[in-house]
Amino acid sequence: MELAPDIEDKIQQSFAAQRMMATLGARLDRIEAGRVAIRAPILDCAQQQHGFGHAGLTFSIGDSAAGYAALSVMPPDAEVMTVEMKINLLAPADGEQLRAVGEVVKAGRRLVVVKAEVFATKSDRTTGIALLQGTMIPL
Amino acid sequence: MELAPDIEDKIQQSFAAQRMMATLGARLDRIEAGRVAIRAPILDCAQQQHGFGHAGLTFSIGDSAAGYAALSVMPPDAEVMTVEMKINLLAPADGEQLRAVGEVVKAGRRLVVVKAEVFATKSDRTTGIALLQGTMIPL
Amino acid sequence: MELAPDIEDKIQQSFAAQRMMATLGARLDRIEAGRVAIRAPILDCAQQQHGFGHAGLTFSIGDSAAGYAALSVMPPDAEVMTVEMKINLLAPADGEQLRAVGEVVKAGRRLVVVKAEVFATKSDRTTGIALLQGTMIPL
Amino acid sequence: MELAPDIEDKIQQSFAAQRMMATLGARLDRIEAGRVAIRAPILDCAQQQHGFGHAGLTFSIGDSAAGYAALSVMPPDAEVMTVEMKINLLAPADGEQLRAVGEVVKAGRRLVVVKAEVFATKSDRTTGIALLQGTMIPL
User: In this complex, is the C-beta atom of B81 within 8 Å of any C-beta atom belonging to chain D?
Assistant: no
Q: How far apart are the first and last CA of chain A?
A: 22
Q: Could you tell me if C73 and C83 are in contact, meaning their C-beta atoms sit under 8 angstroms apart? A: no
Quote the CA–CA distance of B87 and A84 in Å, as a whole number.
5
Strands C27-32 and C35-41: antiparallel
- B64, B83, B87 ranked by CB distance to A84: nearest: B87
Query: Which pLDDT value is given to residue C4?
Result: 84
Query: Which pLDDT value is given to residue B106?
Result: 98
Chain D residue numbers with beta carbons less than 8 Å from the beta carbon of A119 are: none
Å between A49 CA and nearest CA of chain D:
22
Which CATH number characterizes residue D39's domain?
Answer: 3.10.129.10
Chain D residue numbers with beta carbons less than 8 Å from the beta carbon of A133 are: 86, 88, 131, 133
Q: Which residue of C has its CA nearest to D90?
A: C83
Query: Which pLDDT value is given to residue A5?
Result: 87
Number of neighbouring beta carbons within 10 Å of residue D45: 16
Cross-strand partners of D118? D100, D130
Low-confidence ranges of chain D (pLDDT < 50): none
Q: What is the pLDDT of residues A7-61, one digit of tens each?
A: 999 999 999 999 999 999 999 999 999 999 999 999 999 999 999 999 999 999 9
Q: Using alpha carbons, list the distances in angstroms from residue C45 to C41, D25, D61.
A: 11, 11, 15
β strands within A80-124, DSSP E? 80-89, 97-107, 112-122
β strands within B2-111, DSSP E? 27-32, 35-41, 80-89, 97-107
Query: Which pLDDT value is given to residue C8?
Result: 96
Query: Which pLDDT value is given to residue A60?
Result: 98
Q: Check A133 against D128: CB less than 8 A apart.
A: no
Q: Could you tell me if D102 and D87 are in contact, meaning their C-beta atoms sit under 8 angstroms apart? A: no
Total count of domains within chain A: 1
Q: Please say if the pLDDT value at position A98 is more than 80.
A: yes
E strand or H helix that includes residue C55: helix C55-71
Quote the CA–CA distance of C35 and C32 in Å, as a whole number.
5
Q: Check C135 against A84: CB less than 8 A apart.
A: yes
Residues 23-62 of C with CB under 8 A from D: 23-24, 44-49, 54-57, 59-60
User: In this complex, is the C-beta atom of D4 within 8 Å of any C-beta atom belonging to chain C?
Assistant: no
Residue B109 exposure: Cα atoms within 13 Å on the Cβ side: 1
**Residue D42 is part of which domain span?**
5-138
Q: Check A110 against C137: CB less than 8 A apart.
A: yes
Å between C92 CA and nearest CA of chain B:
13
User: In this complex, is the C-beta atom of A84 within 8 Å of any C-beta atom belonging to chain B?
Assistant: yes
Q: Using alpha carbons, list the distances in angstroms from residue D22 to C41, C45, D18, D25, D102.
A: 18, 8, 7, 5, 19
Quote the CA–CA distance of C16 and C9 in Å, as a whole number.
10
Quote the CA–CA distance of A117 and A37 in Å, as a whole number.
10
Å between C104 CA and nearest CA of chain D:
19
Number of neighbouring beta carbons within 10 Å of residue D3: 16
β strands within D59-124, DSSP E? 80-89, 97-107, 112-122
Q: Check B86 against A86: CB less than 8 A apart.
A: yes
Query: Which pLDDT value is given to residue C1?
Result: 67
* Subunit partners of chain B (3 or more CB pairs within 8 A): A, C, D
Closest to D28 (Cα-Cα) out of D117, D99, D119 = D99
ipTM for the assembly: 0.97
The separation between CA D137 and the C-alpha centre of its own chain, rounded to angstroms, equals 16
Q: Please say if the pLDDT value at position A89 is more than 90.
A: yes
Query: Which pLDDT value is given to residue B5?
Result: 87
Chain B residue numbers with beta carbons less than 8 Å from the beta carbon of A25 are: none
User: In this complex, is the C-beta atom of A12 within 8 Å of any C-beta atom belonging to chain B?
Assistant: no
Burial of A72 (0-12, 13-18, 19+ CB in 10 A): buried
Query: Which pLDDT value is given to residue A1?
Result: 67
Q: Could you tell me if A87 and A33 are in contact, meaning their C-beta atoms sit under 8 angstroms apart? A: no
- Residue C57 phi, psi dihedral angles, 5° rounding: -70, -50
Q: Using alpha carbons, list the distances in angstroms from residue A72 to A5, A86, D90.
A: 10, 21, 19
Query: Which pLDDT value is given to residue A103?
Result: 98
Query: Which pLDDT value is given to residue B1?
Result: 67
Cross-strand partners of D122? D125
Q: Using alpha carbons, list the distances in angstroms from residue C7 to B50, B81, C19, C119.
A: 39, 44, 20, 26
What SS3 state is found at C138? strand
Q: Which residue of A has its CA nearest to C134?
A: A84
Closest to D23 (Cα-Cα) out of C13, C53, A80 = C53
Q: Check B84 against A85: CB less than 8 A apart.
A: no
Closest to A115 (Cα-Cα) out of C132, D105, D55, B47 = D105
Q: Check B83 against D86: CB less than 8 A apart.
A: no
- D48, D60, D87 ranked by CB distance to C85: nearest: D87
- A128, A131, A135 ranked by CB distance to D88: nearest: A135
Q: Which residue of D has its CA nearest to C57?
A: D56
> What average pLDDT does the segment B56-85 reach?
97
Closest to D102 (Cα-Cα) out of D65, D132, D137, D74 = D65
Residue type, A64: S
Q: Check A45 against B23: CB less than 8 A apart.
A: yes
Q: Sign (positive/negative) of CA torsion B66, B34, B81, D104?
A: negative
Closest to D79 (Cα-Cα) out of D135, D132, D136 = D136
Query: Which pLDDT value is given to residue C5?
Result: 87
Query: Which pLDDT value is given to residue C32?
Result: 97
Q: Check B133 against C86: CB less than 8 A apart.
A: yes
Closest to A78 (Cα-Cα) out of A116, A111, A100 = A111
Closest to D15 (Cα-Cα) out of D117, D100, D131 = D100
Query: Which pLDDT value is given to residue A2?
Result: 78
In the DSSP assignment, the letter for residue C110 is: S
Q: Show the CA angle centred on residue C16, arms to residues C12 and C19, nearest 5°.
A: 150
Query: Which pLDDT value is given to residue D1?
Result: 67
The CA dihedral of D104, D106, D110, D116, to the nearest 10 degrees, is -30
Quote the CA–CA distance of A90 and C89 in Å, as a whole number.
20
Q: Check B57 against A20: CB less than 8 A apart.
A: yes
Q: Along chain C (139 residues), what's the average pLDDT of each consecutive run of 10 residues?
A: 88 97 98 98 95 97 98 94 98 97 96 98 97 97
Quote the CA–CA distance of A18 and B55 in Å, as a whole number.
11
Q: Check B135 against D135: CB less than 8 A apart.
A: yes
